[in-house]
């Protein structure tokens, strides 16, 4: 029976501790602590995914791959001038999540289900995407292609999560979508003081829920 075993539970506790440290670091602008706590959170979460007993081992493998690429994206985005490599790493991570959702045990692909999954995500992407793309164009025209591709892929990831009909997976994908949407607004539209903390909390909680959806 799929479950969270003792080792996975301990690693999940470590994930929570590192995440709280990272939230504190972001809130207080403690860069040194952030550079340690942010990747440590994802390393611990990868450990959770590797040690829990999943409902589907194939889905777990794709999710672990997604987490590894997200970890790489975290590291790139902490380095100055590495926005595009970070974006590319997260894009590959979302593709791995998509594969995990479609190959998982609860995917639903009927026409009605597809419509329910695609419409709300498309509406949100249409609402947010053009402003972010316009801001990216104003910042650097070379960013338009990568940003537009990223919006398409993360939208597909969110829609794929809805297809699973698993509330935990849907909530995790929605929080991840919200986090990246705020990053787009912060970087290319407007930067509000509350955004940095909101971005990292929704990101970590979203990732944790996606891992928990494995069981």
Lowest-confidence segment of 21-25, 101-105, 200-204 by average pLDDT = 101-105
Please say whether the beta carbons of 168 and 213 come within 8 A: yes
Give the whole-angstrom CA distance, residue 157 versus residue 207.
Answer: 13
The DSSP symbol for 193 reads T
Alpha helices in the chain (DSSP H): 6-28, 31-51, 57-78, 83-103, 111-139, 144-164, 167-188, 195-212
- Neighbouring CB atoms inside 10 A of 80's CB total 6
Q: What predicted TM-score, i.e. pTM, was given to this entire model?
A: 0.92
Please say whether the beta carbons of 46 and 72 come within 8 A: no
Domain ranges across the chain: 6-212
* Paired tokens of 177: 């979508």
pLDDT tens for residues 94-141? Answer: 999 999 999 876 555 655 566 667 777 888 888 888 899 999 999 999
Give the whole-angstrom CA distance, residue 152 versus residue 81.
Answer: 23
Give the whole-angstrom CA distance, residue 61 versus residue 100.
Answer: 8
pLDDT tens for residues 29-79? Answer: 999 999 999 999 999 999 999 999 999 999 999 999 999 999 999 999 999
Of 124, 169, 172, 175, the C-alpha closest to 151 is 124
Sole residue written with tokens 């999560």: 161
Please report how the helices 83-103 and 144-164 are oriented relative to each other, as an axis angle in degrees rounded to 10: 20
């Amino acid at each position: 029976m799929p479950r969270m075993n003792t080792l996975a539970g301990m690693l999940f506790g470590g994930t929570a501790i590192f995440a709280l440290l990272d939230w504190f670091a972001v809130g207080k602008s403690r860069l040194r602590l952030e550079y340690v706590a942010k990747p440590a959170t994802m390393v611990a979460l990868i450990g959770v995914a590797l040690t829990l007993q999943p409902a589907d081992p194939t889905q777990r493998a794709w999710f672990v791959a997604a987490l590894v690429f997200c970890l790489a994206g975290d590291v790139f985005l902490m380095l100055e001038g590495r926005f595009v490599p970070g974006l590319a790493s997260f894009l590959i991570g979302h593709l791995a999540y998509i594969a995990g959702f479609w190959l998982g045990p609860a995917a639903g692909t009927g026409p009605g289900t597809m419509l329910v999954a695609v419409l709300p995500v498309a509406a949100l992407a249409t609402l947010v995407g053009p402003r972010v793309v316009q801001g990216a164009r104003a910042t650097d025209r070379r960013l338009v292609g990568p940003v537009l591709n990223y919006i398409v892929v993360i939208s597909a990831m969110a829609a794929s999560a809805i297809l699973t009909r698993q509330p935990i997976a849907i909530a995790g994908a929605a929080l991840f979508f919200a986090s990246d949407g705020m990053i787009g607004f912060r970087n290319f539209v407007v930067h509000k003081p509350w955004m940095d903390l909101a971005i990292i909390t929704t990101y970590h909680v979203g990732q944790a829920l996606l891992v928990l959806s494995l069981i």
